Chain A
Amino acid sequence: MFPQFGATAETLSKASTMVFRIGTDAHLYDDPDDVSIAPLLDSKFDSEKCEALKRLLALIAQGFDVSNFFPQVVKNVATQSLEVKKLVYLYVLHYAEKRPNEALLSINCFQKDLGDPNPLVRAWALRTMAGIRLHVIAPLVLVAVGKCARDPSVYVRKCAANALPKLHDLRQEEHTSAIEEIVGILLNDHSPGVVGAAAAAFASVCPYNLSLIGRNYRKLCEILPDVEEWGQIVLIGILLRCVIARHGLVKESIMFSLHHSESSQSEKDGSDVEFGLLKGSRDVNGTCDSEFVNMVSRCYIEGPDEYLSRSSYASKESFNLNGTQFTSGKSNDDVKILLHCTSPLLWCNNSAVVLAAAGVHWVMAPKEDVKRIVKPLLFILRSSNASKYVVLCNIQVFAKAMPSLFAPYYEDFFICSSDSYQIKALKLEILSSIATESSISSIFKEFQDYIRDPDRRFAADTVAAIGLCAQRLPKMAHTCVDGLLALTRQEFLTKDLGSGDQEAGVLIQAIMSIKSIIKQDPPGHEKVIIQLIRSLDSIKVPAARAMIIWMVGEYSSLGEIIPRMLATVLKYLAWCFISEALETKLQILNAASKVLLCATGEDLWMFKKIFSYLVELAECDLNYDIRDRARFLKKFPSGNSSSQGLEEGTNGVPEKDFVHVVAESIFGRQTREVKESINYRFYLPGSLSQIVLHAAPGYEPLPKPCSLVLDDLNVPEGTRAIENRANYSGTDDDDHGTSSDCSDDESADYNSQRSITGSSGSDDSEYTSESNDTADPLIKISDIGNASEYQNGVSQCSPDNLGDLMSNRSLEFWLEEQPGSSNSAISEKNEVRKPSARISIGDVGRQVKPKSYSLLDSAHGNGLKVDYSFSSEISSISPLLVCIEVFFKNCSSETLLEITLVDEEANRALDTADQAVAVNESSSSYDNVPTLVPIEEIASLEPGQTARRILQVRFHHHLLPLKLTLFCNFKKHPVKLRPDIGYFVKPLPIDVETFMDKESHLPGMFEYTRSCTFTDHIEELKKESGDSLLIKDKFLAICESLALKMLSNANLCLVSVDMPVAANLDDASA
């Protein structure tokens, strides 16, 4: 009625909220583009510029793309106002990669700022300059970083250290050694703040160059407590790696006890008294679970993937730690100083530091000192819920390996109602693994409380934990079973309806726990079985019933009372068969036939009758599973009865007829102890991989003990050191290459980018001349016929389009290695019309080597060096297979024989055939799909000779490496083939409408648009409509390699190319 009043009220309420927001930037966030931003940016007042920049920032925050303001913003970089500067930097950093050409304009200002007397200005300039990630300016940045690394201001030096990973990220190999040198300088800095940042730089730039650390080891240890917390986290890890690489593991530590016991078993040397002591450690005081610890420590050193895969085919000798790879923690100063300097960090306020320090002590500290990590670890449980979870995940491993460590502190793992479900589950697991006979009673009291918790999922977990406790402590088994039985009798659980699935879950879990306890000692729990059978009448949950019925069959001949009950029980089961659920019915049938098999004497007739009745019922059942089972089981008793007269009483006589034997082996062996192989994966304490339980990219296990040669270390800095470093960087690069090939591919991307920036003028001559300083033009596209005209068209588009989006490498691949599709297309074109386009490649091999990764280096392979590189050749067998070029080189002086590469899984399967022991372990991971097309074996390889093979493999996962075995001179070498995500992309032909539709589903992505006109091309193609199919193929190939490269840094992209002939659109998704 009075709209104006409503409006006033609204504005009033708006105004009242505005009062509180006055002076803030609220209005900028709410309506960032209510004024036009461009004129403000050009204003001569700082305040207006500020406002404009804030508006832009607000738009960035809200996810809008405002990169079109880049030129105007970048002009303001020269401002004197620090606030404007800061805002400009924020903006520039966000968009620099998108607008490289414009970003170049700001470089002069940065260089001017680097000479500013104000350290803050210098630091900001350096941070931003390094952050804009342009390849052309990398040399400038390197010089700037080098200068700032010697800056008087600590803050600037710190920023210099932080800038190094940014530079390294550009993957320019020519700068690697310079970057590492600066890392070395900064690690030597006297200010702890700088050292911390330098450590972080080291970890991301050259984590393998441990000799760099080795030189400063002591100093770094001593400075460690003063380094700021974030640097401490990284530095602790580096120092740990360094000391292991240099001295090996510590003899007195947990990690050692098991290697010891193993070697003493295998070699029987037992020369030390210590040996026996350590070997028996488990029996003496029950401190560690040696098998478990063994696995943990091996996983730490080798990485679980390698360890688990190898252990399955039982060739552990390839990695055998011997005494020389151990050092004594008591006499070795380097170990002692590390432990000494990390122990106060256990008091740190930052839980990440505490966990890192605890990790060092866990691996390196003598056994008796490890306990000092317990209290700090328990204390950081109190810091925040998020860190609580991470800490508990780590404690879980510690507690499993060495229960005695945490056993006295069981109270800390009691559950609070505010804990999340994951935390509760972890705590229960820890509690059940650290329970001892003295603590178990109070733990059980707690458990009883938990069972009444309203969260029934948690209650069910508690019941499972009780079962685990009973299995660990057989003395408690009776108490546990009694408690569990009492639980099953509670009416709320046994009731079928009303209480819901959750209650059923608790009951099922209770029966399951009882079942597993009984399994350990069936005769001792006879009464329990009887009680359970009696409760069949009241328990209504099908799964629980099924389990009890299974027990009827399984333990039918146990003790005295059960056999006497059988007749009644079976009658009861037969009576209620029709009303049972599926799983229960199946178990009834099983139980009946088991009883029949074991039955003797006068009951046999009765059982037979019940059985045939049951089978009859089952054969008419609605469910085909039950009908099948019935028909199957029907055969057994008949066999049994025929041979019954002869062999009934004599179980185990070989002449038992076939059916009976089969039946026996199906039903009779279920109680057989299946040895559970512990198949956990362990990663270093405090690592991300340990939380997500797979190796995150970049995860590295501890270095091989004593792999760092001492000679390297004592040489003062000078020529020798540089030599060493060069050596290191040489070998390490290979390592690095194999570990992170994604990043290597980026370098290819960047290469191409560099050439674009060089060709900003889009003039052909400029293009060649400018890129001369980096490389000669790799690809020349020329037209034989109407050269001048055509060359203009194509050369203009080549930097803009192809060169922009496609890396040189992929183009090269496409041209060089797909003769089937592209070359033929070209040649055919040549036939049809003589003056046509030809794409020629300058001597590519000389300039851009295809990135090759090392599969096996000559040091490990007895002189055999194996490199591989991805080729974009398409497999002739299956599109799932990826082609890989493998080069075998003999670096030794002897001839190598019979070199071949075999898929490890297949290999393992072979092994299992003759090793029955390993069946259990390998069967779980055995996969039927061929992952490797067998390659031609290289019979012999002369010294210095190189052989090339094309390998076709199928990766199971785009991140996880494929394990292969290399045979050479009849020796096995496990090797890993790391996938490159780019090569998994396959073209997916779709029509334009679907594409548009799909495209519209992808909002909010950053878009790069490049367009070019193939004027001559179009004409040409139109004329040759007959050939268009082949040409299309060619475009498809372009699209494919385009998408491939875009994807190689694992980002999701959509690359669409509009072609004049027909829209060949290539939708790529990771």
Chain B
Amino acid sequence: MLQCIFLLSDSGEVMLEKQLTGHRVDRSICDWFWDHAISQGDSFKSQPVIASPTHYLFQVVREGITFLACTQVEMPPLMAIEFLCRVADVLSDYLGGLNEDVIKDNFVIVYELLDEMIDNGFPLTTEPNILREMIAPPNIVSKVLSVVTGTSSNVSDTLPGATGSCVPWRAADTKYANNEVYVDLVEQMDAVINRDGVLVKCEIYGEVQVNSHLSGLPDLTLSFANPSLLDDVRFHPCVRFRPWESNQILSFVPPDGEFKLMSYRVKKLKSTPIYVKPQLTSDAGTCRVNVLVGIRNDPGKTIDSITVQFQLPPCILSADLTSNHGTVNILSNKICSWSIGRIPKDKAPSLSGTLVLETESERLHVFPTFRVGFRIMGVALSGLQIDKLDLRTVPNRLYKGFRALTRAGEFEVRS
């Protein structure tokens, strides 16, 4: 079981320590950790499980904040990692993002949350909805109130009813004047296009996000028009397994507010909405770059926020890149970022220019990978369609809304 959790800022400062068991962990472990992180660089920071001389460390890095947990005994490592991820999620949800200042400013809330989330090294209450009821998130009203009156308590006096019920993710007595459910399909497209321009892998990682404002204990069923598309699924704990196993119907009592109902994967898609064609030819110490971007399969909706990023190879001394559409920036760490936005109707955006290689090398022999970003509103590229959403006990008015969105995930084009 976990013995201690440290929150480290991006400069290695220990912002917070929370001892969880009687086996106290000294802060010096953080110094050890940080020394190694500095001396070994990225490969150390990307190691989620580290065996230090005295403790096993688990680390999760979110937005520059390192969440470090220590244990000395055997425990499932994924449990620690998942828990740290959950802590990070809850904190960024409470504090509206994560950074050094926001954690320091709200350290009391962080302490209270951690104390509620983990007891004696074992997770206690991790359901965000219940945590919200126990410890009020900081908001403008409470801030103003605390300034004006000087008193405010963010700790709830009563135990949320949900902790006792058989649906621990939901408070029993919520009441809304308008009953509304919004279902969003949010998809990410992962694709790999190899050097020959062949689509090696193309798949969709999607989430069904639900925002529910329903009174009482609603029982919802959601079904898809084409569930056979789904390659694999994962569910929020509220989803009942049996109806899905037998009829592929999602039957659930939703938590209040926003939550991720399920995530799914659709594999072996045949095409991508846009194409990116990079060409790099090198000769006599210079390399000509030419990247073409265009629409391959029109999804019917506009594709926007198109970006193309690539890391210039280390052997390049200077780069001169221009585009006929959008802006090109070369960042300090040799990342070239080309933001296109929407593709204009009349021309195909292209990026061209030359790279100057190091003096000794004649030709380029390592080639960058182009990472592509885009966003399409209103379309789920996997083709998944929601058939219907039913509420078993229908209140007088129920508003249902559906949306879809597709983004690029790990969309990579090799050159």
Give the interface of A toward B (CB within 8 A): 21-26, 28-30, 46-47, 50, 54, 57-58, 60-63, 81-83, 86-87, 89-90, 93-94, 97, 118-120, 123, 127, 130-131, 133, 153-155, 158-159, 162-163, 165-166, 169, 191-193, 197, 200, 204, 225-226, 228-230, 233, 237, 344, 347-352, 354-356, 375-376, 378-380, 382, 384-387, 389-391, 411, 414, 416-418, 420-423, 442, 445-446, 448-449, 452-454, 456, 459, 490, 492, 497-499, 686-689, 691-692, 694-700, 1004-1006, 1049-1052, 1070
Given contacts A82-B155, A229-B237, A454-B311, contact A390 B105 (CB under 8 A): no
CB distance from A29 to the nearest CB of B (A): 5
Q: Which residue of the partner chain, among B104, B159, B313, contacts A26 with CB atoms under 8 Å?
A: B104
* Contact assessment for B260 and A349 in the assembled complex, using a CB-CB cutoff below 8 Å: yes
* Contact assessment for A378 and B232 in the assembled complex, using a CB-CB cutoff below 8 Å: yes
Q: Which residue of the partner chain, among A130, A385, A387, contacts B46 with CB atoms under 8 Å?
A: A385
- CA–CA, A391 and B78, complex, Å: 8
Stretch at the interface among B121-129, B179-187, B287-295, B300-308: B121-129
Residue of B nearest to A354 (CB): B234
Q: CB of B402 within 8 A of chain A?
A: no
* Contact assessment for A23 and B77 in the assembled complex, using a CB-CB cutoff below 8 Å: no
25 CB-based A-B contacts, threshold 8 Å:
A21-B101, A28-B107, A28-B108, A30-B104, A63-B17, A118-B157, A131-B22, A131-B120, A200-B1, A204-B1, A228-B237, A230-B123, A233-B76, A233-B78, A349-B234, A350-B82, A351-B81, A375-B231, A387-B81, A416-B410, A452-B366, A453-B367, A492-B365, A688-B75, A692-B51
A-B contact count (CB 8 A): 311
Q: CB of B226 within 8 A of chain A?
A: no
CB distance from B46 to the nearest CB of A (A): 3
In this complex, how many residues of chain B approach chain A with their Cβ under 8 Å: the count is 113
* Contact assessment for A133 and B81 in the assembled complex, using a CB-CB cutoff below 8 Å: no
Q: A23-B142, A29-B107, A499-B360 are in contact. List 16 more A-B contacts (CB 8 A).
A: A25-B105, A30-B104, A47-B151, A54-B108, A61-B16, A82-B155, A93-B19, A192-B166, A351-B81, A354-B234, A386-B60, A414-B200, A445-B194, A688-B74, A694-B51, A698-B73
Taking CB atoms, residues of chain B closer than 8 Å to A416 are 192, 410, 412
Taking CB atoms, residues of chain A closer than 8 Å to B71 are 688
Taking CB atoms, residues of chain A closer than 8 Å to B366 are 452-454, 456, 459
* Contact assessment for B122 and A230 in the assembled complex, using a CB-CB cutoff below 8 Å: yes
* Contact assessment for A691 and B241 in the assembled complex, using a CB-CB cutoff below 8 Å: no
Q: CB of B283 within 8 A of chain A?
A: no
Question: Beta-carbon contacts of B138-170 to A below 8 Å, as 1s and 0s?
Answer: 100011111100110111111100011010100
Given contacts A60-B17, A454-B368, A697-B73, contact A166 B26 (CB under 8 A): no
Considering residues B73, B108, B365, which has the most beta carbons from chain A within 10 angstroms of its beta carbon?
B108
- CA–CA, A22 and B144, complex, Å: 8
Residue of A nearest to B415 (CB): A452
CB distance from B30 to the nearest CB of A (A): 9
- CA–CA, A62 and B237, complex, Å: 37
Taking CB atoms, residues of chain A closer than 8 Å to B258 are none
* Contact assessment for B159 and A46 in the assembled complex, using a CB-CB cutoff below 8 Å: no
Taking CB atoms, residues of chain A closer than 8 Å to B34 are none
Question: Beta-carbon contacts of B7-30 to A below 8 Å, as 1s and 0s?
Answer: 000000011110101111011100
Residue of A nearest to B114 (CB): A90
Residue of A nearest to B13 (CB): A62
Closest 10 CB pairs of A and B: A23-B143, A420-B46, A386-B48, A352-B78, A344-B241, A698-B73, A498-B360, A26-B105, A24-B105, A83-B153
Q: Which residue of the partner chain, among A50, A154, A347, A384, contacts B164 with CB atoms under 8 Å?
A: A154
- CA–CA, A1005 and B42, complex, Å: 29
Taking CB atoms, residues of chain B closer than 8 Å to A687 are 74, 76-77
- CA–CA, A375 and B266, complex, Å: 12
Taking CB atoms, residues of chain B closer than 8 Å to A379 are 232, 234, 263, 265
Give the interface of B toward A (CB within 8 A): 1, 14-17, 19, 21-24, 26-28, 42-43, 46-49, 51, 54, 56, 58-60, 71-79, 81-85, 101, 104-109, 111-112, 115, 119-120, 122-124, 126, 134, 138, 142-147, 150-151, 153-159, 163-164, 166, 168, 192, 194-196, 198, 200-201, 205, 231-237, 241, 244-245, 260, 263, 265, 311, 313-314, 358, 360-361, 363, 365-369, 371, 410, 412, 414
- CA–CA, A89 and B111, complex, Å: 11
Residue of B nearest to A236 (CB): B76
Taking CB atoms, residues of chain A closer than 8 Å to B109 are 25
Given contacts A166-B120, A422-B47, contact A688 B76 (CB under 8 A): yes
Taking CB atoms, residues of chain A closer than 8 Å to B360 are 497-499
- CA–CA, A453 and B260, complex, Å: 36
- CA–CA, A417 and B48, complex, Å: 18
- CA–CA, A450 and B358, complex, Å: 22
Residue of A nearest to B410 (CB): A416
- CA–CA, A445 and B313, complex, Å: 21
* Contact assessment for A22 and B48 in the assembled complex, using a CB-CB cutoff below 8 Å: no
- CA–CA, A63 and B8, complex, Å: 13
Taking CB atoms, residues of chain A closer than 8 Å to B244 are 347
* Contact assessment for A692 and B56 in the assembled complex, using a CB-CB cutoff below 8 Å: yes
* Contact assessment for A230 and B74 in the assembled complex, using a CB-CB cutoff below 8 Å: no
Q: Which residue of the partner chain, among A351, A696, A1005, contacts B73 with CB atoms under 8 Å?
A: A696
* Contact assessment for B82 and A387 in the assembled complex, using a CB-CB cutoff below 8 Å: yes
Considering residues B126, B158, B159, which has the most beta carbons from chain A within 10 angstroms of its beta carbon?
B159
- CA–CA, A200 and B43, complex, Å: 33
- CA–CA, A687 and B119, complex, Å: 21
* Contact assessment for A390 and B77 in the assembled complex, using a CB-CB cutoff below 8 Å: yes
CB distance from A353 to the nearest CB of B (A): 9
Q: Which residue of the partner chain, among B159, B311, B365, contacts A120 with CB atoms under 8 Å?
A: B159
Given contacts A229-B237, A692-B56, contact A200 B78 (CB under 8 A): no
* Contact assessment for B76 and A344 in the assembled complex, using a CB-CB cutoff below 8 Å: no
- CA–CA, A1050 and B120, complex, Å: 19
CB distance from A1069 to the nearest CB of B (A): 11
* Contact assessment for A449 and B23 in the assembled complex, using a CB-CB cutoff below 8 Å: no
Given contacts A24-B143, A25-B108, A452-B367, contact A119 B159 (CB under 8 A): yes
* Contact assessment for B414 and A449 in the assembled complex, using a CB-CB cutoff below 8 Å: yes
* Contact assessment for B42 and A420 in the assembled complex, using a CB-CB cutoff below 8 Å: yes
- CA–CA, A83 and B366, complex, Å: 60
CB distance from B217 to the nearest CB of A (A): 16
* Contact assessment for A389 and B47 in the assembled complex, using a CB-CB cutoff below 8 Å: yes
Taking CB atoms, residues of chain A closer than 8 Å to B265 are 379, 382
- CA–CA, A57 and B124, complex, Å: 22
* Contact assessment for A355 and B412 in the assembled complex, using a CB-CB cutoff below 8 Å: no
Q: Which residue of the partner chain, among B46, B147, B156, B245, contacts A23 with CB atoms under 8 Å?
A: B147
* Contact assessment for A153 and B155 in the assembled complex, using a CB-CB cutoff below 8 Å: no
- CA–CA, A673 and B407, complex, Å: 53
- CA–CA, A390 and B50, complex, Å: 12
CB distance from B319 to the nearest CB of A (A): 14
* Contact assessment for B164 and A82 in the assembled complex, using a CB-CB cutoff below 8 Å: no
* Contact assessment for B43 and A422 in the assembled complex, using a CB-CB cutoff below 8 Å: yes
* Contact assessment for A499 and B1 in the assembled complex, using a CB-CB cutoff below 8 Å: no
- CA–CA, A133 and B23, complex, Å: 11
* Contact assessment for A1050 and B72 in the assembled complex, using a CB-CB cutoff below 8 Å: yes
* Contact assessment for B159 and A386 in the assembled complex, using a CB-CB cutoff below 8 Å: no
- CA–CA, A376 and B366, complex, Å: 35
* Contact assessment for B412 and A21 in the assembled complex, using a CB-CB cutoff below 8 Å: no
Taking CB atoms, residues of chain A closer than 8 Å to B233 are 347
* Contact assessment for A153 and B164 in the assembled complex, using a CB-CB cutoff below 8 Å: yes
CB distance from A370 to the nearest CB of B (A): 16
Q: Which residue of the partner chain, among A230, A446, A499, A1049, contacts B361 with CB atoms under 8 Å?
A: A499
